[in-house]
Amino acid sequence: MQTTPKAPAAQRSGPMLSRVAHSLYWMSLYIERAENVARLLDVNLQFLLDFQGLSESLPQEHWGSILASSGGAELFAELHGEPDSQNVPEFLAFDQRNPNSILSCVLSARENARMIRDQISSEMWEVINELYLFLRARNAAEVWRAGPYEFFQQVKRYSHQFQGLADSTYPRSEGWDFIQFGKLIERADKTTRILDVKYHILLPTATDVGGAVDTAQWHAVLRSASALDAYRRYYVHEILPWKVADFLIFSDTFPRSLCYCVGRLDGYLHRILGDSPARPRAPAAVAAHDLLADLKSRDIEYVLQMGLHEFLIEVQKSLDRIGDEVVQTTMFFPADPEPEEHQHQQTQQQQ
């Protein structure tokens, strides 16, 4: 996809709204995506270990739900057929044919960072390169044999280190706005998908709702979003489905909640798109403002009446529109597409 930036945005900041903005945005988004996939795999592998032998169909249903929510179910079916506890983790962690695998995301983040090494701090580049070398030195068989917990923890630590270094070493310029925008729109999207995982899990009977497996699944949802401790400080020890959904959607203090992320996106869009009273607001800014206003005016009762899955799908569509509009308005691609652009096109086709 090749686009030309619109005149109002181009007049605002000149060269930043092109190759550099493009690379900063995707670099940040792909690092966030790699971390989210690592967290999701870590938690759900542990969940299946805790409940192994309980039901023969549980693993297939569980991994199928993760593939469905990640947008990779069709590609996985073409490559592997039926999901299980070996081929799904390998597909999501190491398979370069999957543009959303941890390895593919890190390769894309590194390629974007390489193209703008003079625009980011040396510390930011070093930690991305270290993560790349860490992944290249391992393969799926080695990781599963040694135990995947430490592997996923290391991926998350690299991501947190990158975010901390960006916070400490990158100037609060327009480039910073693109870094944050890429991170936050990916984070908001993945929170909706983590919640949607639970929707796709089919429990055998109604009596299972509220049972040990159901409670453990909602526990896993919270852990997948790194929200368990924060949730327990708010609700103590009671893990109830509607409370989990309410916390991950409407909390205005938890940094991975949908409402929190969209609120910050709205602020960064004001700066990226250069809104002013002299001209109409850009469609992305309007969409973000409307989504935030909608979230602020709703509650969990409304979501449950509408249907959790249906609500999350509508939010994902809004986030897609916002991201696409910002890319088309403020960034254009080089004449010769780089590998990460091809991967992003594949990703968009799957979602």
> Which tokens go with 64?
């199928």
Chain position carrying tokens 């959607």: 249
Listed residue (13, 191, 36, 192) closest to 109, CA to CA: 36
Chain position carrying tokens 């069709």: 74
Q: Residue 184, SS3?
A: helix
Question: Domain range holding 135?
Answer: 7-350
In-domain check, residue 1: no
Higher local confidence (pLDDT), 267 or 351: 267
In-domain check, residue 49: yes
In-domain check, residue 47: yes
In-domain check, residue 130: yes
Mean pLDDT (the chain, rounded): 83
Classify residue 297 as exposed, middle or buried by CB count within 10 Å of its CB (0-12, 13-18, 19+).
Answer: exposed
> Which tokens go with 166?
């960006």
In-domain check, residue 214: yes
Other CB atoms within a 10 A radius of the CB of residue 286 amount to 16
Contact residues for 17 (Cβ-Cβ < 8 A; gap 6+): 5, 9, 10, 174, 330, 331
Least confident of 178-182, 245-249, 340-344: 340-344
Is the pLDDT at 60 greater than 90? The verdict is no
In-domain check, residue 111: yes
CA angle 116/122/128 to nearest 5° reads 75
Count structural domains, the chain.
1
pLDDT tens digits along 229-282: 999 998 877 888 899 999 999 999 999 999 999 999 988 988 888 765 555 678
In-domain check, residue 65: yes
> Which tokens go with 4?
């030309």
pLDDT tens digits along 92-122: 999 999 999 999 999 999 999 999 999 999 9
- C-alpha 240: how far from chain center: 24
Residue 232's pLDDT is 92
Torsional sign, CA 71, 76, 82, 88: negative
In-domain check, residue 27: yes
Higher local confidence (pLDDT), 82 or 96: 96
Is the pLDDT at 145 greater than 50? The verdict is yes
Mean pLDDT calculated for residue range 193-201:
77
Look up the pTM and report it: 0.84
CA dihedral 289, 291, 292, 293 (to 10 degrees): 80
